[in-house]
């Protein structure tokens, strides 16, 4: 089944609503990806997802440990490590993160504000996963070591990526955005080599391990999206991202 949309804005809103519904049903945001042909297509999708309160990460964008919020948090943790405190380790980490803007509830707004919250939340999650003997000093040192090794945590965000950047990666739930009537094909049809060269979705775009959403435009410049279930077994597959916990 393929659902058509009249414009890229309607398509983005439709994709965002579908993703929000999946998350409400218990799907982890990190198990969802939206793929498109060109980076210029990401802005309208990010805006639509932000309107639904869904955080996003662009594959190949700013690395986790290069984010200003993460750098600020590590510096704050290192500073707090040399100050006496009677609080336990986790409480001390929470206090440090709250001092630089972390809140228990995610902000309603999307964009940079939500991205910063997700980054701080990821640091708190790492603290919660630390051993019983963890201290502020050892935790800050561990974060520095992860940064050096580029061992980035998994963010609870929907991944946005070009088809090229997503080559070889898989997620349980994938939406393909930005096709036109001439470029979209049924999910049950295998594009030929010739049709792929002329602009059809390549078979390598089938990254959805459980569900794939493809598009069909109503006009030569229209884009759309529709859900097509593609089960690949009953195992709980995890996406192979560049972020790893």
Q: Are residues 56 and 164 in the same domain?
A: yes
d(CA 139, CA 130): 8
| Neighbouring residues of 114: CB distance < 8 A, sequence distance ≥ 6 | 50, 53, 55, 106, 107
Element (H, E) at 28: none
Q: What is the pLDDT of residue 131?
A: 86
Q: Are residues 94 and 207 in the same domain?
A: no
Helices (H), 82-206: 89-99, 111-128, 136-149, 193-197
Whether residue 240 is contained in a domain is answered as no
Q: Are residues 53 and 100 in the same domain?
A: no
Whether residue 50 is contained in a domain is answered as yes
Q: What is the pLDDT of residue 111?
A: 73
Of the two residues 208 and 77, the one the predictor is more confident about is 77
Structural domain total, the chain: 2
Rounded to an integer, the average pLDDT of 9-31 is 93
| pLDDT, tens digit (0-9, with 9 covering 90-100), for 56-95 | 888 888 889 999 999 999 999 999 999 888 889 999 999 9
> How distant, in Å, are the alpha carbons of 9, 136, 162, 181, 199 from that of 12?
5, 42, 15, 16, 20
Q: Are residues 28 and 84 in the same domain?
A: no
78-87, 151-160, 212-221, range with the lowest pLDDT: 212-221
Q: Are residues 164 and 183 in the same domain?
A: yes
Q: What is the pLDDT of residue 101?
A: 93
Q: Are residues 137 and 114 in the same domain?
A: yes
Q: Tell me the residue range of the domain where 175 lies.
A: 8-61+158-229
Q: Are residues 108 and 215 in the same domain?
A: no
| Neighbouring residues of 58: CB distance < 8 A, sequence distance ≥ 6 | 42, 159, 160, 161
d(CA 189, CA 202): 11
Q: Are residues 162 and 56 in the same domain?
A: yes
Mean pLDDT of the chain: 77
Q: How confident is the model at residue 184 (pLDDT cuts 50, 70, 90)?
A: very low
């Amino acid at each position: 089944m393929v659902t058509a949309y009249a414009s890229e804005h309607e398509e983005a809103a439709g994709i965002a609503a579908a993703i929000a519904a999946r998350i409400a049903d218990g799907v982890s945001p990190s198990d969802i990806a939206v793929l498109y042909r060109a980076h210029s297509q990401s802005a309208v999708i990010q805006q639509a997802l932000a309107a639904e309160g869904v955080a996003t990460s662009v594959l190949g964008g700013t690395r986790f440990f290069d984010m200003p919020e993460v750098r600020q948090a590590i510096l704050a943790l290192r500073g707090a490590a040399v100050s006496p405190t009677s609080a336990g380790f986790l409480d001390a980490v929470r206090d440090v993160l709250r001092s630089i803007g972390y809140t228990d509830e995610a902000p309603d707004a999307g964009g940079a504000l939500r991205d910063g919250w997700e980054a701080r939340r990821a640091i708190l999650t790492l603290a919660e996963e630390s051993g019983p003997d963890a201290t502020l000093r050892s935790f800050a040192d561990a974060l520095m070591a992860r940064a050096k090794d580029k061992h980035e945590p998994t963010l609870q965000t929907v991944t946005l990526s070009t088809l090229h950047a997503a080559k070889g990666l898989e997620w349980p739930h994938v939406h393909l955005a930005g096709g036109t009537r001439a470029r979209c094909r049924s999910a049950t049809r295998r594009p030929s080599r010739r049709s792929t060269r002329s602009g059809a979705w390549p078979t390598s775009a089938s990254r959805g391990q459980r569900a794939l959403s493809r598009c069909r435009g109503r006009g030569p410049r229209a884009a759309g999206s529709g859900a097509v279930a593609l089960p690949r077994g009953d195992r709980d597959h995890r996406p192979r991202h560049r972020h790893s916990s």
